[in-house]
Amino acid sequence: MNIETKKEENNIVKINLEIPAKEAVEAYNRAAKMIAQHVNIAGFRKGKAPRNVIEQHIGVERIKYEALESILPKALRQAVEEQKLDIIMQPAVDSYDFNVGEDLKVYAHVEVRPEFELKNYKEQTIDVEEYKIPEDAVQKSIDNMLSRAATYELVTDRPVNNTDLVKIDFDGYVNEEKIEHGDGKNYTLDISNSRFIPGFAEQLVGHNVGEEFDINVTFPETYHEAKLAGAPAVFKIKIHEIKQKITPELNDEFAKKVGFENVDALKKDVQDFLQKDKESRDKASAERAVMEYVSNNTEIDIQPSMIEREQQYLMNEYKQRLAQQGFTYEQAVQTQGEETLLNTMKADALKRVKNTLIIDKIAKLENIQLETNDMSAKVEDMHNTYGVEKFEVMKQLAGNPSMLSAVSQQIVSEKVSHFLIENNKINWVSSKEKEPVNA
């Protein structure tokens, strides 16, 4: 088989194949016999009709198509291997000249990985902003624990304050027109943790049980329903019940209730948790900073098709997240603007594609590969994270090639990230000291 390749713009390689007539005829004859097994031709048993009869009954083009389906995958794979093409998509056939008895000529193209030089990815000094545990972090964490353990008691002798739970009826109107889904009966609202329209909960403060009154609010300009965005609204309110929050004291008795010997042991556990959280944050910051540094120092001519595919993938992910939250893409466009959304996704797609290319290049240069124990460790991690039995995890991976590929890529990416951290110097700085990452 003769193979000719030619590199064109946007990392496209044209492939011209010339398959000897003998191989093409053999493929054609096999296709004719295969088709004959599945068609009824008057006067012949299945599979026994001669080729010329099959051609008359089925058509030469149909037989050629089946012949090409059988011969081309292997021929194109051979071309890719012999020419050492680093492809990112399977080859696509543009056209062919198939005259039975003559050499088969096939014209195809394939998209290849961009070629680029990778430099400044080792032995660099990179500034990374260090996370500082806030001075009041321990106290805030303990206050949150106390708050979660709080109980509520009915109040009958005072109005609502800003830490109460209230049970209310509400009915909303815009321009005297009732708001769809803008009402509720016996709804319990936490005044200090309200997710209602800004100003709604605050206006309940000072009112008593049994009181009926109106409150006035304005929907945010970015509200997901366009007809309500920025609109003034009136809500009719009736208060049925007030409960006050009773927060326990921080003492050894409370510590024992939540699983600790005493208050000191509780505080130490909180401090240990905050320290582990700091280490996790710092690790993630270092990984991002090193990757950003390498990316900014690397120029890659990325073909638009790669970015477009990644952008479409991000778009599909975004629409799925919106649907899970009860929103539509059209609603997101109304609040954010389609041009802004598309530009953001395009920038994210470019960044992700570039980072993936760099990670793959580093893995190749440094011989970073997926090993058996890596997959075993990942299965163990997935078992611990999701509570799925390890056998079931392995079964799902074995039965889902795309999932297995994604997990394998994730493992290699994590190993490359570890390599970059180990082979560069991290200079921890405060936010004021940090300099921009320059190319």
Q: Are residues 404 and 314 in the same domain?
A: yes
* Spatial contact of 290 and 126, defined as CB atoms under 8 Å apart: yes
- pLDDT at 42 (0 to 100): 65
Q: Could you write out the DSSP letters of every residue in 55-117?
A: HHHH-HHHHHHHHHHHHHHHHHHHHHHHTT--BSS--EEEEEE--TTS-EEEEEEEEBPPP--
Cα end-to-end distance, the chain, whole Å: 47
268 Cβ contact list (under 8 Å, min separation 6): none
In a domain, 400, yes or no: yes
Q: Dihedral (C-alpha) 76, 77, 79, 85: value to the nearest 10 degrees? A: 120
- When computed from its CA atoms, the radius of gyration of the chain, rounded to whole angstroms, is 33
Neighbours of 360 (CB within 10 A): 18
- pLDDT at 347 (0 to 100): 95
In a domain, 140, yes or no: no
- Taking the C-alpha atoms of residue 307 and residue 343, their distance in angstroms, rounded to an integer, is 12
Measured in whole angstroms, the distance separating CA 331 from the mean position of its chain's CA atoms is 21
Where is the domain boundary, 246, 269, 289?
246
Distances (CA, A) of 99 to 71, 142, 144, 163, 226: 15, 82, 79, 85, 62
Q: Are residues 103 and 157 in the same domain?
A: no
The tokens for 54 are: 């099959």
- pLDDT at 48 (0 to 100): 66
Q: Are residues 406 and 353 in the same domain?
A: yes
Main-chain dihedrals φ then ψ at residue 360, nearest 5 degrees: -60, -40
In a domain, 207, yes or no: yes
Q: Are residues 107 and 239 in the same domain?
A: no
pLDDT tens digits for 190-210? 998 898 999 999 999 999 999
* Spatial contact of 437 and 137, defined as CB atoms under 8 Å apart: no
216 Cβ contact list (under 8 Å, min separation 6): 203, 232, 233, 234
- CATH code (residue 384): 1.10.3120.10
- Taking the C-alpha atoms of residue 101 and residue 302, their distance in angstroms, rounded to an integer, is 42
Q: Are residues 179 and 233 in the same domain?
A: yes
Main-chain dihedrals φ then ψ at residue 325, nearest 5 degrees: -95, 0
Size (the chain), residues: 439
- pLDDT at 113 (0 to 100): 93
229 is in which domain, residue-wise? 151-246
Q: Are residues 317 and 226 in the same domain?
A: no
Distances (CA, A) of 20 to 27, 32, 33, 67, 97: 11, 19, 20, 14, 12
- Taking the C-alpha atoms of residue 390 and residue 298, their distance in angstroms, rounded to an integer, is 40
Q: Are residues 196 and 323 in the same domain?
A: no
In a domain, 144, yes or no: no
- CATH code (residue 71): 3.30.70.1050
The pTM score is: 0.74
- Taking the C-alpha atoms of residue 295 and residue 121, their distance in angstroms, rounded to an integer, is 9
Query: Left if phi > 0, otherwise alpha if psi is -120 to 50, otherwise beta: which for 186?
Result: left
Measured in whole angstroms, the distance separating CA 33 from the mean position of its chain's CA atoms is 48
In a domain, 137, yes or no: no
Q: Are residues 298 and 164 in the same domain?
A: no
Distances (CA, A) of 348 to 296, 338, 354: 15, 15, 10
In a domain, 332, yes or no: yes
Where is the domain boundary, 111, 134, 161?
111
Measured in whole angstroms, the distance separating CA 432 from the mean position of its chain's CA atoms is 32
- Taking the C-alpha atoms of residue 397 and residue 406, their distance in angstroms, rounded to an integer, is 10
- Taking the C-alpha atoms of residue 97 and residue 104, their distance in angstroms, rounded to an integer, is 6
> Total structural domains in the chain?
3
- CATH code (residue 190): 3.10.50.40
Where is the domain boundary, 246, 262, 293?
246
Q: Are residues 163 and 22 in the same domain?
A: no
Q: Are residues 321 and 213 in the same domain?
A: no
- Taking the C-alpha atoms of residue 141 and residue 129, their distance in angstroms, rounded to an integer, is 23
* Spatial contact of 120 and 296, defined as CB atoms under 8 Å apart: no
Neighbours of 249 (CB within 10 A): 7
Specify which residues 14 forms β-bridges with: 6, 109
- Taking the C-alpha atoms of residue 5 and residue 13, their distance in angstroms, rounded to an integer, is 6
Give the residue ranges of the chain where pLDDT is below 70.
Answer: 40, 42-43, 45-48, 432-439
Closest by Cα among 389, 368, 369 to 379: 389
Q: Are residues 103 and 159 in the same domain?
A: no
Q: Are residues 416 and 374 in the same domain?
A: yes
In a domain, 266, yes or no: no
* Spatial contact of 161 and 137, defined as CB atoms under 8 Å apart: no
In a domain, 143, yes or no: no
The tokens for 73 are: 């995958």
